[in-house]
Chain A
């Protein structure tokens, strides 16, 4: 295995979530994005400032994946969802709830967990 460099602002973002300082970037027109970003893709503003990620969001859509990629072989079946946190949305693994009980509108928070298969860090959405 070759040694792998961190992925810049993305790994810094995961570190921040682990430290309880989850954040996102917001442009002057209130469009929200997860880092890394240098420009808002909607309005082209380069004036992005760091805002605290809201404590909880709502699941917008979810799926239980039974045919995974090799990197998630031991995780399957698992739930992946997109959750809306106001101006920004976050995709993550849903943990702490039975897959059959996950629903649109469920309230979740963001944390960092590990993939069972590889031990790599992963964004986790957990019911609040």
Chain B
């Protein structure tokens, strides 16, 4: 069975939409993806849907069938939860079932409604991706956990807050032309360094915003795409997932993300490519330090070198290896359960030339998506390639 194709994708505007229900957000993205795909909705075999905090934010569990209904599908629908990697897990499930011949067409997607409950409750809801007994009860927040990783990275490898500021500046600049992005505002290194601290050493501009939004994509087998004359040149050629101890205290390193190493190794082997083949990447920069850890785990940089990538201009849109052309979670926003599929949509659009930052990699054929859950206790990596 050949590799699944991305037949179409849809993403809502990311940002503050406190009055919009999760089902409304997902309906917009899902219907856009179906329309873009050219697939007859009657041909869809399954929905794989990512969501993290639905119970806390909307008092709504069992969102799989709810979301199938919202986009007019009567299909088996399953919600996958892997914290911020929920949608990455949804993609992986679809890819496996398309490859094994179980299904011909699957919708993958995700949504999160977060701003309706306010910053304090959203901080609390995000924190439950950590270990309740040993981390949350010790006052750990999501930014706090990444702050521990950042401080440990500086201690072990060097680098400073100003290097992280360059990542924020880069991703804000990338998002300027992205109509889906939550923050379309240029910032300076000085502004990022001087911003109020949220969890030392991380400041306001090291952190992604709290975001409402949804993303969806229609994946088909290559055979289905060919039979139905779909314009679907981008294939998902590699999928990988890795895990780690939930609590940071139980890991041998605070400045490395082995779950992402494992996911990357598996995805590269699956696709038959290596880090040298990668033209650009969308990585999970929920905090600026997370982008550093991600590009090192993806093998795009050696340990201790990723911190200088943005400072040296290597990962901006003019650089050798653009990272987060969408603006990343940092500027595009991070509706937790939608993020993995939004990354997939970005890569597909860059590869087919329809993304506003596609000119950064005009001859690009290989893109990688890195979607991390919690403090990287879950990670999925997907390799996308142009096949036609």
Contacts and interface: CB of A to CB of B under 8 A. Distances in A.
Bind each other? yes
Contact of B250 (A33, A67, A104): A33
Contact of A63 (B127, B148, B155, B247): B148
Contact of B139 (A7, A68, A89): A68
A56 B250 CA distance: 18
B160 to A, nearest CB: 15
B248 A104 contact: no
Interface in B122-143: 123-124, 127, 133-141, 143
Given A82-B254, A123-B137, A69 B120 contact: yes
B127 A69 contact: yes
Q: Is the interface of B mostly helix, strand, loop or mixed?
A: helix
Which range holds the interface residue count of chain B?
35 or more
A93 B123 CA distance: 18
B149 interface: yes
Contact of A66 (B148, B199, B245, B254): B199
B249 interface: yes
Contacts of A61: 148-149, 151-152, 155, 254
Contact of B134 (A34, A69, A71): A34
Interface in A96-128: 104, 115, 120, 122-123
B249 A90 contact: yes
Contact of B200 (A33, A41, A63, A70): A63
B198 A70 contact: no
B219 interface: no
A60 interface: yes
Contact of B121 (A64, A70, A91): A70
B139 A82 contact: no
Interface stretch (A15-23, A44-52, A73-81): A73-81
Given A67-B123, A91-B135, A123-B138, 7 more contacts: A61-B151, A61-B254, A70-B121, A73-B120, A93-B139, A115-B139, A123-B134
Interface of B: 119-121, 123-124, 127, 133-141, 143-144, 147-149, 151-152, 155, 196-202, 245, 247-250, 254
